[in-house]
């Protein structure tokens, strides 16, 4: 994410995670680890943020953060968002503050996320209850080059959020791993 608070990314549905890790290693990517991430997305009871293509989330995982995202006009083959994010010490208290301001917990997403770093490029492998995905985040040129090196076609890339993909599957609002 640059100084202009613009996030540019594309995701791909993946099946062979082991092969993908191997390819990333051959490219010289550094594995930064794997964590369980939990995201709580807040909105008003009337879903005012969603209606205006904005959202606020609190996430735990690699770090505890609060994030504001806004869809930018002109999205094409990449998902482009305005993003403002910063670390927070206590995600539960941040949630209480947002609820005190009139936001209600609307959506919860759980996933396992593995991060890889290349120069100017972040690649993540996400394991969700409805499938495995890889996201490439960088500038458009770097995304295109990285996808090519990984043998991926941009035409097969996805720009929908995980929330949208989950809804399209008819799986409801939340994205949760089943607890035994």
CATH number at residue 164: 2.40.320.10
In a domain, 69, yes or no: yes
Domain of residue 77: give its range: 6-168
In a domain, 37, yes or no: yes
Instruction: Tell me how many degrees the CA angle 124-29-137 measures, rounded to the nearest 5.
Output: 40
In a domain, 176, yes or no: no
More confident residue, 1 or 122: 122
In a domain, 173, yes or no: no
Number of domains present in the structure of the chain: 1
DSSP 161: -
Q: What does the pLDDT read at residue 112?
A: 96
- The pTM (predicted TM-score) of the whole model is 0.90
With cut-offs at 50, 70 and 90, classify the pLDDT of residue 27: very high
pLDDT digits (tens, 9 = 90+) for 92-137: 999 999 999 999 988 999 999 999 999 999 999 999 999 999 999 9
**pLDDT exceeds cutoff 70 at 179:** no
In a domain, 178, yes or no: no
C-alpha closest to that of 9 among 162, 115, 131, 159: 159
In a domain, 143, yes or no: yes
Quick one: tokens of 61? 């995982």
**pLDDT exceeds cutoff 80 at 74:** no
In a domain, 174, yes or no: no
CB 10 within 8 Å of CB 146: no
In a domain, 72, yes or no: yes
């Amino acid at each position: 994410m640059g100084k202009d608070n613009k996030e540019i990314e594309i995701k791909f549905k993946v099946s062979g995670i082991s092969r993908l890790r191997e390819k990333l290693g051959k490219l010289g990517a550094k594995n930064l680890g794997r964590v369980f991430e939990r995201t709580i997305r807040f909105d008003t009871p009337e879903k005012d943020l969603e209606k205006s293509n904005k959202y606020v989330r609190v996430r735990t995982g690699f770090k505890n953060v609060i994030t504001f995202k806004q869809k930018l006009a002109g999205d094409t083959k990449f998902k482009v968002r305005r993003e403002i994010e910063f670390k927070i010490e206590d995600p539960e208290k941040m949630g209480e503050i947002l609820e005190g301001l009139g936001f209600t917990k609307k959506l919860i997403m759980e996933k396992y996320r593995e991060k890889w770093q290349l120069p100017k490029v972040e690649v993540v492998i996400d394991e969700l209850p409805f499938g495995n995905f890889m996201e490439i985040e960088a500038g458009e040129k770097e995304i295109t080059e990285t996808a090519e090196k990984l043998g991926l076609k941009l035409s097969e890339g996805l720009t929908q959020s995980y929330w949208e993909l989950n809804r399209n599957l008819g799986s409801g609002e939340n994205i949760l791993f089943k607890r035994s």
